[in-house]
Structure 1
């Protein structure tokens, strides 16, 4: 399957050089927006191979199987940009703002994760991104996580987007592991009849100051999103109506930071608290000036 996908992706990339029709773009948009809605999600991760220098003391991550109910809100919908916010439903009274994904058509501005809390700005060539969509993934506080540009593929009944991008440690590991500092993620977003699948083939890397990488371990991830009636996620929909204004202000502030087109370095904590704790403690009617000031403290 991987070989077939790589072959199809190569054919699609070749097609880029001859231009894309509006029909193809509309098909891409349909696939992206189909990821919105209410989903029962199964999260599965397991370490597959290990390459430590000392195999006797190395402790691999435990296999993880988790479950969640998640609402994916369509926040912005324009011809060249689609913004989707994930909201995790713990209970009717407890909604957690989860990750966010933005999709940009033929985007040329990219922030590539370096290591620790640093991202490198890259200007992509217009010809290289012809017909492609950049997926920009953001943390729960809307700070950057990882980004990559690739072509959506719709061939032989398959409907997917695949890309490789460097990322920080996942939240499930960043408080448990300090023996690696970069997760190289091969992400596949595949649309299915039941919903969609986020498949991952990840490499856990140790990156030094010169940029040299040492492979520590590999990991398989399979997040399965099964579509359920929207009414099951009504609590998240109501929460978003009450809280969307503050998060628009946060997104807008981050956009001014990204628009500088410079390398980005962030403080991991202020007063021993990460950024998301400051933002999550705010009331929905907080002013933009206050959220701006909080974010400014974390941008070096």
Structure 2
């Protein structure tokens, strides 16, 4: 009997040890996406399903290049926050997307369509050992999020998830014939940096009707690590502006903590939220920031 109890205890400790080792591998993979990168953005529309075969115009194949700094903003055992900053012409900094990684997260804001998100809570056993990637717009409003397990095998480190998202910025100014991008995102850590691979469905969604698949596209973004000194301008910019954006993040956290559906205005006074926030000075008060963000939330 004692041998059986001992075996159970040893097996249990081995499982716990393996779990902690696995989580450490996950954290190492996630944090390895930080730093300075030369990025190649590649997108091509692959298949079209529009019934309007005469007038349908697919998006042009896109190849863009950039230099990007990924700042480690928050580093906790169950939450890692990383801010992307684009560097244009060596000195001009554009606050880009943000990604938060949360371990065994159960609260989700699922993108529905247009400018609306639906709150969803999953049971804890559905996200056991998984990491949620929460991706935010340049103004730190929600974009998309999904949960999956990091896999480490044959020297590869991969995370894959499929979730709904708004139109990307490269599309929403030129396309109005679909309103949901169902994204299959694959993040893979490589010897030279990391790859963000995408297989996306362009979907038309309306209330109480089945989704309509309009087209599909392939995305392949390659992040090649370079010396951090090449991104010095972004590092300096973040030192000057990080407190402003912390106030913005803090306000959004109070909104998300309400755990209810979220609907946003596209513009207020003919201006989108990101333009309003980008005009603010670093010492803007949290009261002013809160008022601005509240004005874009549809009650």
- Which of 198, 201, 204 is the aligned partner of 1:200? 198
Partner of 2:177: 179
- Which of 257, 270, 273 is the aligned partner of 1:272? 270
Q: Secondary structure at the match of 1:61?
A: coil
Partner of 1:97: 95
Partner of 2:231: 233
CA RMSD of aligned residues (A): 1.3
Alignment of 1:32-47 (within 5 A): 32-47=30-45
Distance 2:71 2:170 in 1: 23
Alignment of 1:118-157 (within 5 A): 118-157=116-155
Following superposition, the deviation at residue 239 of structure 1 comes to 0.1
Shift in alpha-carbon separation, 1:291–1:261, aligned structure 2, 3 A:
same
Partner of 2:86: 88
Following superposition, the deviation at residue 20 of structure 1 comes to 6.0
Distance 2:79 2:117 in 1: 22
Partner of 2:104: 106
Following superposition, the deviation at residue 91 of structure 1 comes to 2.8
Distance 1:251 1:257 in 2: 10
Partner of 2:11: none
- Structure showing greater radius of gyration is 2
Task: Count the aligned residue pairs.
Answer: 284
In structure 2, the gaps of 5 or more residues are: 1-14
Partner of 1:163: 161
Distance 2:104 2:46 in 1: 35
Alignment of 1:8-87 (within 5 A): 21-87=19-85
In structure 1, the gaps of 5 or more residues are: 1-16
Partner of 1:258: 256
Following superposition, the deviation at residue 50 of structure 1 comes to 0.1
| Superposed CA offset, 1:10-40 (max 9, x none) | xxxxxxx999610000000000000000000
| Superposed CA offset, 1:100-153 (max 9, x none) | 000000000000000000000000110010000000000000000000000000
Distance 2:56 2:105 in 1: 41
Following superposition, the deviation at residue 156 of structure 1 comes to 1.5
Following superposition, the deviation at residue 92 of structure 1 comes to 3.7
Q: Is the 8 A contact 1:202 1:218 kept in 2?
A: yes
Following superposition, the deviation at residue 175 of structure 1 comes to 0.8
TM-score by length of 1: 0.93
Instruction: Find runs of 4+ consecutive structure 1 residues off by over 2 angstroms.
Output: 17-20
Q: Is the 8 A contact 1:88 1:96 kept in 2?
A: yes
Shift in alpha-carbon separation, 1:24–1:72, aligned structure 2, 3 A:
same
Partner of 2:5: none
TM-score by length of 2: 0.93
